[in-house]
Structures are given as structure tokens and as C-alpha cells.
Amino acid sequence: MLISEMSRQECCDLLARLGFGRLACAHQNQPYIVPTYFAYEPEHLYGFATVGQKIEWMRLNPLVCLEADEVRSLVQWSSVVVRGRYEELPEKPGYDSKMRQQAEVLLRKRFMWWQTGVAAARTREQSNRDIPVFYCIHIEKVTGHRASRDRRPYRYRTSRASVPSVVTA
Amino acid sequence: MLISEMSRQECCDLLARLGFGRLACAHQNQPYIVPTYFAYEPEHLYGFATVGQKIEWMRLNPLVCLEADEVRSLVQWSSVVVRGRYEELPEKPGYDSKMRQQAEVLLRKRFMWWQTGVAAARTREQSNRDIPVFYCIHIEKVTGHRASRDRRPYRYRTSRASVPSVVTA
């Protein structure tokens, strides 16, 4: 298997196409991951949830990471990692209502995007469970890797005889 | 869509079956996610990598989170989240060599588990790129959710007419 780096444009194309990934936030250096839908725009990702641990933690610490991948086989896949900053998009005077509207328009295109958030809130039985939280992730850095078959023989260095010494993919 | 909680046993069964997920670590409250293979044992997950950002960050901060999921459709999926603690399993006197051996035996069962780590190291062109790092994640908490179809009509509360007011899955 050969792993190569993806260009920024290739990363963005994959994010735009997939619209689904895993979002990590952190509180007191404890990371937390949840699967999430998103809508890609140049420099931004838009997302939606109801209030829960993810939103609470991102409010406390806006540093986030999102990973999205497309796995065709064990040796053919692409994975993009976004480092970004969370910003909530509330419906309040003083906030950027244009971004909020844009988030809603883009997310509406995703089939049943709202159901995951609402159903998760239902499970948590919160008093504010039906209130949608729209947010934006400002993309600060994006990197991607692609794996493909590699026919070259490769010597794997190890002290243990139990691991194959030559592998090809 | 209806989301229900999974029992601990159901979570563990899914982890044992999948052996693939996304691992998040954090450094100075910045989370980072990478796709990863793992082998499940009660109370532990075993993993393998070569030295890179993930290993460097987990050495600095052992608090990690792993998410594994099985998505059959938009409304039928299971997702398990593990909160855990990283421990490296080096081949040195004084360390638990039994766990290291167990990690290798279990990970060997995963087809080409070693290739991702080696290929990634190749890409990074590190001097220590061929040295495998085996590690264990001590499971401290595991939770899981399962989504299934829900035929009940559901009123979605919003102030915007642009979002459907009644949805069914």
C-alpha cells in the first residue's frame, strides 16, 4: 500500500462530496468524537445539532477537528483531516444572520440532516431538546492522504519472527 | 428515526466485530482524529502505529477517545464511543511484555494491519519510520447508540418556515 498526500483542492472536493464525518472536540484535554453531517463551503463547514455534550464542550473550547473518509477497500481509501474553530450561529441581533441563513440553506440539501440531532435530543430527554443549534467550523488547516496499491516489495523491520518480513499490497 | 442506547455488552460486541474506527487525541486542548485499526479485548483496545503526531500527542496526554460505527443507511446505524487512556507497550525490561505479546497476536489477525502504519511512516520520511509502536487503550467508559426507523410523525419546532414542520423516517 502506498500513501500519498492530497492537495488542498482534492481535500476540499472530498469534503464537499461526502458531507459526513467524525467531529472531535476536547474539554480539559479529554477528546470526544461524534459522527456528524456537515455542509462544505470554501473556508467553512456548517453543522447542526441540539444541545448536548458536543455543543457544551465546543462552547467551552472552540478548537475542533473533523475527519472524513472514503474507504473503497483496505488499500484504497482517502482521508481528510480538518483542524478548525467552532462558532455558533444563533438567531440573535448582533450575530451574522447571513451565515446562519447560509448554513440552513446548505444543510437542507442534506437528506434528513435534522433528524439525527432531533432524535439524539429525544434520547437525552432535555428540556431544550428541540432547539436547533447551527454552527460553523472555520477551517484553519486541512490535510489529506490517499492510499493505493503498491506492487513494490517492502521489507518490514522487526525483532519478532511472528510478523511477515516482506509484504506487498 | 429513533435513537436508542446500546448496552455495554452490545457496544463491546460491535467493537470486537468492527476492529476499525477513528481515534482522537488532544494536545493543549486541540483535538486530532485519525482512522485506525484496533483489536478489542475486554477492558482494552490494542493498536499499532509508527511514530507521528498521533503517537507524540498520546505520549504527552494519554486521554483519548475512539469512535467506531456501522452505517447501514441514514436511519439505520450503530455508533460506539470509548473514552480511554493510552499506554505504550514497548519492548523493554520492566514493561508488561505479556500485554505487548497479546497486542501483537491479536493485531496479526487483522489483515494488513501493519501496512497502514508503515506506509504512513514512509510518507513522513522519518528516521525511525520502521519502528512499530504497539499500544493499549484502557477502556474507562463505553457508550453506544443505535438508530432505527421510526414511523411516528414528529413535529419539529423552529421559527423558520424553511425547515419541514413534520417529518417521518
* 8 Å CB contact between B13 and B88: no
- Better-predicted residue by pLDDT, A97 or A57: A57
* 8 Å CB contact between A33 and B24: yes
The reply to whether residue B154 touches residue A118, judged by beta carbons under 8 angstroms, is yes
Contacts B30 to A, Cβ<8 Å: 26, 63, 65, 83
Q: Average pLDDT of each block of 10 consecutive residues along chain B (169 residues)?
A: 92 95 96 93 91 94 97 88 95 79 79 56 56 92 90 50 33
Cβ contacts from A onto B, under 8 A = 167
Which pLDDT band holds residue A160 (cuts at 50, 70, 90)?
very low
Closest Cβ opposite residue B122 in set A3, A24, A114: A3
- How confident is the model at residue A112, as a pLDDT? 53
Average pLDDT over residues A53-74: 94
Is B11 in a helix, a strand, or coil? helix
Is B36 in a helix, a strand, or coil? strand
The reply to whether residue B35 touches residue A67, judged by beta carbons under 8 angstroms, is yes
The reply to whether residue B156 touches residue A131, judged by beta carbons under 8 angstroms, is no
pLDDT digits (tens, 9 = 90+) for A66-95: 999 998 887 889 999 999 999 999 887 777
The reply to whether residue B35 touches residue A158, judged by beta carbons under 8 angstroms, is no
- Alpha helices, H only, A44-83: 53-60
The reply to whether residue A34 touches residue B123, judged by beta carbons under 8 angstroms, is no
Closest Cβ opposite residue A91 in set B116, B157, B159: B159
The reply to whether residue A1 touches residue B25, judged by beta carbons under 8 angstroms, is no
What chain B holds in terms of domains, given with CATH numbers, is 2-167 (2.30.110.10)
By CB atoms closer than 10 A (0-12, 13-18, 19+), residue A47 is buried
- How confident is the model at residue A164, as a pLDDT? 32
Best B2, B5, B15, B30 residue to mutate vs chain A (most A CBs within 10 Å)? B30
pLDDT digits (tens, 9 = 90+) for A2-21: 889 999 999 999 999 999 99
Supply B105's cell numbers.
497476536
Contacts A103 to B, Cβ<8 Å: none
Give DSSP secondary structure letters for A112-155.
Answer: THHHHHHHHHHHHT-TTTT--EEEEEEEEEEEEEEEE---S-EE
- How confident is the model at residue B102, as a pLDDT? 83
The reply to whether residue A162 touches residue B105, judged by beta carbons under 8 angstroms, is yes
Alpha-carbon distance values, A165 to A28, A155, B47, B114 (Å): 42, 6, 20, 11
Alpha-carbon distance values, B67 to A141, B33, B63, B70, B129 (Å): 22, 10, 14, 10, 26
Q: Is the Cα dihedral B100, B103, B108, B114 positive or negative?
A: negative
Closest Cβ opposite residue B132 in set A74, A79, A158: A158
Alpha-carbon distance values, A138 to A39, A45, A115, A125, B70 (Å): 12, 7, 24, 30, 28
Closest Cβ opposite residue B64 in set A31, A122, A156: A31
* 8 Å CB contact between B138 and B88: no
Tell me the backbone φ, ψ of residue A12, rounded to 5 degrees. Answer: -65, -40
Contacts A24 to B, Cβ<8 Å: 24, 26, 31-33, 65
Average pLDDT over residues A43-48: 92
**How far B100 CA lies from chain A's nearest CA (Å)?**
12
- The contacts of residue A35 (CB under 8 Å, 6+ apart) are A20, A21, A22, A23, B67, B69, B71, B77, B79
> Does residue A156 register a pLDDT over 50?
no
Query: Residue B129's closest CA among B55, B22, B19, B38?
Result: B55
> Does residue A157 register a pLDDT over 60?
no
Contacts B159 to A, Cβ<8 Å: 91
- The contacts of residue B39 (CB under 8 Å, 6+ apart) are B19, B45, B46, B47, B103, B106, B107, B109, B110
Tell me the backbone φ, ψ of residue B81, rounded to 5 degrees. Answer: -120, 125
Which pLDDT band holds residue A51 (cuts at 50, 70, 90)?
confident
The reply to whether residue B163 touches residue A104, judged by beta carbons under 8 angstroms, is yes
Closest Cβ opposite residue A81 in set B33, B130, B157: B33
| Average pLDDT value over all residues in chain A | 81
Alpha-carbon distance values, B119 to A141, A145, B38 (Å): 23, 11, 17
Q: In which residue are the cell numbers 494519554 written? A: B62
